[in-house]
Structure 1
Amino acid sequence: MESQNPSMTCAICLDHFKDPCTIPCGHNFCHSCIKSHWDSATNYYCPICKEEYHNKPALRRNVDLCELIEGPGSLGVSGVEGRAAGGEGSRDVELCHRHGKPLVLFCNQEKMSVCYECAVKQCDSHDKSMLEEERQNQERLIKETERRIHDLSENINQANVTLQQTCEWVSAKFQSLLKSLLEKKLEEQRDGTITEAQRRLSELEERAQKLKENKEQVSTLRELPDTELIKKSMLVTVPEYQDICTEVSPNLQERVSGVTDVLSRVSKLLHEDLERAVGTALGHDKQASPQDKRPVLAVVPSPAAPFAPGLREELDSQRCSLTFDPRTANSHLSLSHGNTRAEHLTSGPRAVPEDDVRFDHTWQVLCCQGFSQGVHYWELTVSKPWAFVGVTYESIPRKEKGKRCMVGMNDVSWSLQLDERQLSACHGGRQEPVSGPPPPHCRIGVHLDYDGGTLTFYGPDQSRLHAFHCTPFTHPLYPACWIGEGVSVSLCPPRT
């Protein structure tokens, strides 16, 4: 280990001066060192020359020595710091252990702080930067790391909240499913079967009582004289009964076959479709950094189903009134009929004012009304099958080019695509074919159960075309339409 520069070293602590001061004999010490020395001594003397003083001398700051050791701050040098400090309010200074000069540069090759003399002699060809600049870079790196730690913590917390909400939603859905199956189906079948069995049991018990009475009557006849026996026996009749089935559930399997079919489809959905849907949503993001991975909504498609009795009355009671928002309409779309009809003009774009919420490159328009709770139903007609209809969060991209701005082609929207050949359910850029041809009149009903996390599309006869079952929605949803060239979409008014 190289020795320290003695002219810069306190004789008491044997370290570089910190707030150096001079006593009357001319020797210098750290202010705190000489003060502690005299506070613990019985008389006052210089630790170096031993000169004694009758009274405790006043300590005066050595200005020249302070100016020599004070300089720009620096990062530490491994094993060779040579640290000194100024008086109260001053900053620590790093001194070169070889030359006793302030460390003002940072050598990127050696990864250490150096003085000007080191820079000329040892690091002449190395890449160097000002020590203050390197310190600022390090501070920026620390701040950026702290920010990323904060973001990651926030994302972890959000993921926990989302997972908790998803678990609660899934649990509630399965509780509802079990309740529906048990109360409406299995219990109904059980009650019917048990009731029928109890009726048979009562009939058998009544028959047994009558047979017992008849037996007692016959027994009394045996004790009568022959003449009386013949007379009385003419009044005794043996009852004839039809057989009563004692099987309790001969047709139970047939009766609950509908329930087992539903359970089989649910099982397939959980083991195949749901795993594929979630896996596809996560697969593209495997290489992303943890803080960039956001929780995604699992989407469970639902097959088409025929018309359910009483559905029309139920949907009519949930109808709402909608209008298109002209601020969002792409310049190729023209609104009319009180903003309830949107048409894609074949003549080209219109002159429209710039707006932050307008779709600049996507033939799309949103409705003014948004939903953040409750159950809502609306219908719309499409002039010909070249459109996307659905719902979206307000955060849908609006200024980009390409499909990512289209409703259903991102993670914040859901839609039904109407095509001449095929219907498709769309979410997250994925398109799932829907069984059955497009509706002949292109009249589509949309049913939103916000709290239940369900979005259902209906045909003109209230047959269910498709349903999305999602984790709970987290932001207001706005009805949205992407409209192909030459196509018009009209919002149907509520029935009066």
Structure 2
Amino acid sequence: MSAAASCLLTEDQCLCSICLDVFTDPVAIPCGHNFCKTCITIHWDKHVTYQCPNCKEVFDSRPQLRVNTFISEVATQFRQSAQQKASSSSSEQQVSKPGEVPCEICTGTKLKALKSCLVCLESYCETHLQPHLTKSGLKRHQLIDPVEDLEDRMCPKHDKLLELFCKTDQTCVCMLCTVLDHQTHKVVPLKEEYEGKKAELGETEAEIQQMIQKRRLKIEEIKHSVELSKEDADRETAEGVQVFTALKESVERSQAELIDTIKEKQRKIEKQAEGFIKELQQEISVLKKRRTEVEQLSQSEDHLHLLQSCTSLNAVPPTKDWTGVSVRPPSYEGTVVRAVSQLEETLSKQMKKLLAEAELKRVQQSAVDLTLDLDTAHPALILSDDGKQVSCGDVRKKLPNNPERFDCCPGVLAKQSFSSGRFYYEVQVKGKTDWDLGVVRESINRKGKITVTPQNGYWTICLRNENEYVACVDPSVRLSLKSPPQKVGVFVDYEEGLVSFYDVDAAALISSFTGCCFTEKLYPFFSPCPNYAGKNSAPLIISPVNHTE
């Protein structure tokens, strides 16, 4: 009879719709639906009305509950079958680990929950989830990824699912809340508010990601600054060591020269004294010999011999008069002072030279690559194919008189312009008798006669008549140079308002414009000047910068 009975009921019919598990002490209520006795008792204890959880039929009084022995027997068989099935499949399913949501239906070993039901407020493993996937009444329940504390999703005041959102109070509410407590408030479904908040979170996430990216870029910028600082520090340290090593060598050299000078004076005194002593010792030897001869003669008993020898031995041998002879120690007074004074002068010259070399090294770090702009060149100028050389010819070419071109002054600009930072370039001027070099602002006058001054946007120096170097200001200032430069370096610090010119080979500063106010683009300016029948035919050459060692 048990086997026949089990065939009459399906698995769904053996499950309680409240606990979703196989019936335990199944009871039937007047509408015909069956539940676990404990499940329906607890359900009615929580609610004021006695209503069937399935069909919603309301009973006037609480029905009496009697266990249905037939269904109980069938449920027992299904429970045994389910346990066997669960035990065989539990090895395939994952056991719940700490931090994971466990199945609330499993007894004994808790398996990992796959879903949580917002209606039943319980979480289920794969086996106990099956009724929600197969039973028509349970398919309508809302399943979500497993979460703990499902009770928090119920309204604490009305014991109803929190499925709405009050935008006025910014809180989740149930259906009863909208009628009783939030009647005049703006209420929307949770999904609608969820979508809105999700979009806002997306925007916030994007904003945060952008902020993170900016900070990452700032980190890279700071790291790059530190690297540049380290490079500068290493370079300055190397240059400092070089300068102080050179100065130290000069001091040691001067010290050695002082000691040698003093020792040389002492050697001369010692040599003079040795000569005197040797000469005195020789005279002593002669006198000792004469004394011996006189002593022997004085003791002679031979009257004739004494008288005959006395004449030759009676006189003292000729010797040097040593009365005025003396060894005078040399005077060392002022030796150290003179040596230190000479050292100071040497160090001063050397320091100026070393500092000039260090300064040139520093500005050479801002070297740029320039090319001459043919569209700005005076018609008489001849430019090389690579745009690195310019000289002045005898023939004025027919070229378009565009606004950028010089038509009277034999000048040309570089293609590159600069409106910030620092830049440096070098120009070979070897063999020339006249030239102009410097920088100009973009808006300079390029037509007709031009007065080359800073007021007119020109910061330049020039050579005239082979040996007259001039800073082009109003009035012009003649420059004093120790030797004619063969290569001129031009350095500009836009923000500092500085334009400096260097003799590259001598590592010496020629001249500087300071306190300049730059507000426009600056262009390097070159003028080879007229060739004066071949006397000034050598070109100006933009040279690659070879950093001084």
TM-score by length of structure 1 reads: 0.44
Higher Rg of the two aligned structures: 2
Q: Which has the higher helix share?
A: 2
> TM-score, length-normalised on structure 2?
0.40
Q: Which has the higher contact order (CA 8 A, sep 6+)?
A: 1
